[in-house]
Amino acid sequence: MREGVRPLFGKGASLLLLAAVLCAGCVTTRIYDGPPLPASERAIVRADPAVSAGLPVQVRLRQVDGRDISLQTSAVELAPGIHELLVDCRVAETGAVGRFDLEVELAAGAEYRLVPTATGRNCEAVQLIRQ
């Protein structure tokens, strides 16, 4: 770099910007009315972050109980019980996207992850796995 010329952003600012971009899809959204429930009385469902960092298969939560989920949301907090999930599963190599409707029963205090079953060409299914 030429003498007397400083970069617009320092190393620390660049790292902070990178972290902000990566966490842009790390939002957890509460999908129930009323005050926040304690961890022992609610359930969490996790999908993949919007910034996939090269994942070969990406699972995105599109709707919960008919309510649209923002692209920044990678996890939802729900009351226990039966819920309808609309999920997209994208295979990076081919760009193929499968859409799946899941009816799930969630337990209080539990955490779940949406897990795809995919080939190199397309997504065959998505399951909800308790962690």
Q: Tens of pLDDT along the chain (131 residues)?
A: 455 555 555 555 443 334 444 444 479 999 999 999 999 999 999 999 877 667 899 999 999 999 999 999 999 999 999 999 999 999 999 999 999 999 999 999 999 999 999 988 999 999 999 99
**pLDDT score of 55:** 84
**pLDDT score of 52:** 66
Whole-angstrom distance, CA of residue 68 vs CA of residue 15: 32
**pLDDT score of 22:** 43
Residue with tokens 């961890």: 39
Across the strands, what pairs with 117? 125
**pLDDT score of 4:** 55
Distance of CA 85 to the CA centre of its chain: 13
**pLDDT score of 54:** 76
Whole-angstrom distance, CA of residue 48 vs CA of residue 46: 7
- pTM exceeding the 0.75 threshold for the entire prediction: yes
CA atoms within 13 Å, Cβ hemisphere of 121: 0
3-class SS string, 38-65: CHHHCEEEECCCCCCCCCCEEEEEEEEC
Whole-angstrom distance, CA of residue 33 vs CA of residue 1: 55
